[in-house]
Amino acid sequence: MPEITVREALRQAMDEEMARDDRVFLMGEEVAEYNGAYKVSQGLWEKYGDRRVIDTPITEYGFTGVGVGAAMAGLRPIIEWMTYNFSAMAYDQVLNNAAKTLHMSGGQINVPIVFRGPNGPAEFLSSQHSQALQSIYAHIPGLKVVSFSTAYDGKGLLKTAIRDDNPVMFLECELMYGWKDEVPEEEYLIPFGKADIKRAGKDVTLISYSKPVRMVLQAAEKLAEEGIDAEVLDLRSIRPLDEESIYKSVRKTNRCVVIDESWPFASVGSHVAWLVSTNCFDDLDAQVEFISSEDVPMPYNHTLELAVQPSVEKIVKAAKKVLYV
């Protein structure tokens, strides 16, 4: 299989789905002639033209609303926010229109729309542009929320998202766009609600998703040097959540650490830790450990920026804590 970047895998997914279904179109800031702020839409405007790859003004509320309306009318929009930080400007459209229309129409009106863009901490972007907002959207009934850690998963999940008849929050990561791994040339889909074991192990379960998964795998290798066999579970799908795979892994290892790069209060990670603590109570040999970013706005100073986020060292320490109670 060829090795390609996350950026190219996402572009392939959109290209393939636009070629397959002429109802699919891409809309957002700089997605057309500029080829996307992160060059994810490279070449799509030249191939599909102005009607299918649409540049917008810097008006997230406005073009998100246009996309929601287009989805209600039977099209299948992909809305690219230059960053999920800017989705705050469009929150009303997502919360009150995209997420609720199927319910409020008595099941008569679907909203098949994908909201995609980079989410979570990057580098040197300070407090307003380096936020992990997944828990805000996972909190809302009617939305599906997915976040991947490899190019392979990103392509398969994005194709599934575009074909889904519900609004999907598709969370990418700025620092991951250049990451490479093997992606098959033949078509494939990855279903929602299915976690993936990125590394099998028997001593402790490490649960995460998105960019931190690579860090968790590095921590697992360090633990292996000390004879500790860690299992790494990548959630991939936040809502729907694959609780069955979570419990199966924890019941095998009897110990669990959850890693999430968002803030700790009411986060995806804290919810997963609660689920494990509640549903695997009799299987646990130690309390669940939870690692998140510190409960502060993101510092600009790079040393502080790294200090407030999860790290390999923090993960290793937490794994040893649950092992040597």
Distance, CA of 119 to CA of 189 (rounded, Å): 22
Pairwise CA distance, residues 69 & 152, whole Å: 31
Look-up: residue for tokens 């939305």?
143
Hey, what are 23's tokens?
């109802």
Active site residue 313: no
CA dihedral in degrees (104, 105, 106, 109; nearest 10)?
-130
Determine which one of 16, 30, 129, 139 is catalytic.
129
Cis, peptide link before residue 240, omega less than 30° from 0: yes
Distance CA 184, CA 190 (A): 13
Q: List the catalytic residue out of 8, 17, 29, 60.
A: 60
Residues 6+ apart with CB under 8 A from 286: 254, 255, 321, 322, 323, 325
Catalytic annotation on 60? yes
Q: Which of 160, 221, 163 is nearest to 192 (CA)?
A: 160
> Which secondary structure element, helix H or strand E, spans residue 159, and what is its range?
helix 151-163
Instruction: Give the residue numbers marked as catalytic.
Output: 60, 129
